Structure 1
Amino acid sequence: MITADESTFESAVESAATPVLVYFWATWCGPCRVLGPLLEQIESENGEAFTVVKVNADDSPALAARFGVMAVPTMKLLVDGEVRRTIVGSKPKAALVAELAPVLAS
């Protein structure tokens, strides 16, 4: 999992050779504290299928606004730089894997 902010986001996303799951979170968000470790686990179990880029929405409000983030946690799946899927809220691991299945299968 890569941590990015407004100054490092573009390079983090552009340097990824795989689809990118941008994970918007906040320190005060209880569901985010549960979701973060799950995303790390899913990422490690799936090798090079995708990269997670973690963005603190409070510290990077311009990025949150750019992606239309209205609540945290919110995840945006970017494939070739385009948003292909939006996932809002914390979900169990199986539900997250199902949401990411198209990317994990390729």
Structure 2
Amino acid sequence: MLPIIIVGLLLNAFLLSNADEDFIFKNDILFLLALIFIALSAWIIYKDKKEFKKTKSRLSFLPTITVIIFISFFLITNIVLANRDISPNNNPGWL
């Protein structure tokens, strides 16, 4: 569960810190972090389903819940950044 937390926090921090600037390989870094997150998420969900079949305990889905929380954080971050980009300019301009 620790790797998904680390990658999730890195991905969200990278999205927030680089929202206003572009630099070379930005999309490649985002793609790589997202790919690692997706691979870890798939592995965690598979492992949790297998563990649930053995133990029948709902606590075995705790890492999956962590993945869902991070996905919701990513969605909220992207929605806030998208709304900030289309917000009206408060500058009255040249009079």
TM-score for both structures, normalised by structure 2? 0.29
Greater strand percent: which structure? 1
Name which one, 1 or 2, has greater alpha-carbon Rg.
Answer: 2
TM-score for both structures, normalised by structure 1? 0.26
